Chain A
Amino acid sequence: MLDRKFIGYEFEPSERTISRWKITQFANAIRDTNPIYYDLNEAKKQGYKDIPVPPTFFTRMAYSGKKNFYATLGIDYQKLLDGGREFKYYSQCVAGDTITYQTKVENFVEKEGSRGKMDIVTAITRGKNKETNEKIFDAIITLIVFH
């Protein structure tokens, strides 16, 4: 059972500047051929200031801070199942933007299933544009940790 003192725990904020090359690399890896991810002119033609990020690009930013998320919370990988992801979008991020993001442990809830007792862990990472302070995304992670 995870230590309840970590409910509400906030990791250090991090920041990252989004490059065109990283977006293009990501789009290629997911085999998305939409030209807005490869061609600046095409992105601009479709109303973007620069090359936009695909919706799950922020998966790289699911955890902020220098400390390892799992080690900090005392989560054993052998007892861990990924329960799913949720993204909320507030404004479009494009290449050249610098994003600051921070992870907070939202809750631990104990449940009992066919494999015995478990903690359902939810953590939220909020990302915003460093210059404009505009909210960009929330990434919510749900993890299942067996006792």
Chain B
Amino acid sequence: MTNKIINYKELTEGSELPEVKSDPITRVQLVDYASASGDYNLLHFDESFAKKTGLKGCIAHGMLQMAMSGSYILNWAKGGTLKNFKIRYSAPANENDILTFKGKILKKYQEDDEKLIEISVLTETQEKRITTQGSAIISFNT
């Protein structure tokens, strides 16, 4: 985690956010997230159930990936305020996958004197399988 406050003036369209890798998504984390979110779908922590539905094993909650992307964005955008955040799911992430978070500044603009950027974000696994794609709008007063 860095503590560097973003200087809005230094942000440029097309530049990439530093990549961040997660720890492996363990079964314990999937149970922790089920409990924290109230989403107790068995696909996420009961391997025999997941296999019965045709999956190879447990898969991560889509919303867990979105939540981790949210942390990635806020950890980078020090001094900024998140205004909008959206994600769509491309493929499931499996138990023990390591996610790489990537982002890029799509647009830098002002609206009603508010200094804004729009970024794209995605998550991919160690096999380069993209699991989520999305975007966020962040405002800055620095």
Chain A residues with CB under 8 Å of chain B are: 22, 25-26, 28-34, 54-56, 59-60, 82-89, 92, 140, 142
Distance to closest chain A CB from B86 (angstroms) = 4
B33 — which chain A residues lie within 8 A by C-beta?
Answer: 29-30
CB nearest to A52 among chain B residues: B74
Question: Are A28 and B84 also in contact (CB < 8 A) when A54-B70, A82-B62 are?
Answer: no
- The contact sample of 10 A-B pairs, CB cut-off 8 A, is A28-B36, A30-B71, A34-B1, A34-B75, A54-B71, A59-B39, A59-B63, A59-B66, A88-B83, A89-B81
| In the complex, residue of chain B having the shortest beta-carbon distance to the beta carbon of A22 | B36
B114 within 8 A of A: no
A interface SS class: mixed
Q: Which residues of A contact B82 (CB under 8 A)?
A: 55, 89
Known: A26-B36, A60-B37. A31 touches B23 (CB 8 A): yes
Alpha-carbon separation in the docked complex, A59 to B68 (Å):
13
Q: How far is the CA of A64 from the CA of B32 in the complex (A)?
A: 23
Tell me the nearest residue of chain A to B78, going by C-beta: A46
Q: Does B22 contact A (CB under 8 A)?
A: yes
Interface residues of B (CB under 8 A from A): 1, 22-23, 29, 32-33, 35-39, 62-64, 66-68, 70-71, 73-75, 81-89, 134
B74 lies within 8 A of A59 (CB):
no
- In the assembled complex, the Cα of A30 lies from the Cα of B67 at a distance in Å of 6
Which of B71, B89, B134 interacts with A32 by CB under 8 Å?
A: B71
Judging by beta carbons under 8 Å apart, are A33 and B1 in contact?
Answer: yes
Question: Which of B35, B74, B87 meets A85, CB within 8 Å?
Answer: B87
Residues of B within 8 A of A31 (CB): 22-23, 29, 68, 71
Given A26-B37, A33-B1, are A84 and B87 also a contact pair (CB < 8 Å)? yes
A89 proximity list for chain B (CB < 8 A): 81-85
Cα distance, A26 to B67, chains bound together (Å): 9
Our pick among B32, B35, B84, B89 for the contact of A88 (Cβ within 8 Å) is B84
Contact check, B36 vs A29: say whether CB atoms are below 8 A apart.
yes
Taking CB atoms, residues of chain A closer than 8 Å to B86 are 84-87, 140
C-alpha gap A111/B38 in the complex (Å): 31
Contact, CB under 8 Å: A55 / B36: no
Please tell me if the beta carbons of B85 and A55 are within 8 angstroms of each other in the complex: yes
- Whether A59 pairs with B75 at a CB distance below 8 angstroms is no
* Chain A contacts for B22, CB-based, 8 A: 31
